[in-house]
Structures are given as C-alpha cells and as structure tokens.
Amino acid sequence: EPEVTQTPSHQVTQMGQEVILRCVPISNHLYFYWYRQILGQKVEFLVSFYNNEISEKSEIFDDQFSVERPDGSNFTLKIRSTKLEDSAMYFCASRPSGGTDTQYFGPGTRLTVL
C-alpha cells in the first residue's frame, strides 16, 4: 500500500540554523500538507499546497517557513532560522484530488532545536 515517506526521521540543529524537512507524498496525490505536533500536544495545521502554490496557511506559518515542490515527487518544508520553540514532530500529509478529503500522514520528522 502506498505511503507518505519523510526524511530524516530525526533532525537536531542549533538555534538560528536553517533546516529542510523532506517528504515524498503518495504518487497520485495532488494536495500536500505540513502539520506539526509539539510534544504532548495536539496536531496543528501549518500549510496546504496545491497546483504549485500555497492554498492555505496558519498563523504559525510565518516568514521563517516556506514550502516547495522542487520536482515531481518531493515536497519540502524549510525553516530559515530555527527557534527553540520550533522543536516538534513535523508531519507531511497528502490526499488525492476530488471526491475525498482523507489525508494520509507520513511517519514524521522529529526536529530538535538546541
């Protein structure tokens, strides 16, 4: 069964450094998402992406964040200058076009900012 994959599984970085989290959505899906989950808290929406542009973003997704689909398979989340409070699990999700709202999640990347 096709799955969303994410790399790396764990990323440790120093405060102020840039990180890029990578995702490979399910191959025939057209809508892509990033969510995050701070330890012990609920999953929070960051951004949705469709047709090579952001379709919706939350207030969390400020100018330090960006997303990109650099090729036909990858979907990335970049944080330009990480803060301590960016430490969280970051989940990528995807869904196919039309007829379903079901989003399928990847295993996540644990980001630790020191």
- In the complex, the residues that contact other proteins under the rule CB under 8 A are 4, 6, 31, 33, 35, 41-45, 48, 50, 55-56, 58, 91, 101-108
Burial call 29-40: b when 16+ CB within 10 Å, e when fewer? bebbbbbbeeee
CB of 64 to other proteins, least distance (A): 19
Nearer to other proteins, 82 or 94 (CB): 94
Nearer to other proteins, 43 or 76 (CB): 43
- Asked whether the beta carbons of 6 and 104 are under 8 A apart, the reply is no
CB of 10 to other proteins, least distance (A): 10
Nearest to 90 by CA among 13, 37, 16: 37
Question: Rounded to an integer, what distance in angstroms lies between the CA atom of residue 89 and that of residue 108?
Answer: 6
* Residue in the structure block whose two tokens are 């999640």: 105
CB of 76 to other proteins, least distance (A): 17
Question: Rounded to an integer, what distance in angstroms lies between the CA atom of residue 55 and that of residue 33?
Answer: 10
Nearer to other proteins, 14 or 53 (CB): 53
CB of 108 to other proteins, least distance (A): 5
Nearer to other proteins, 65 or 104 (CB): 104
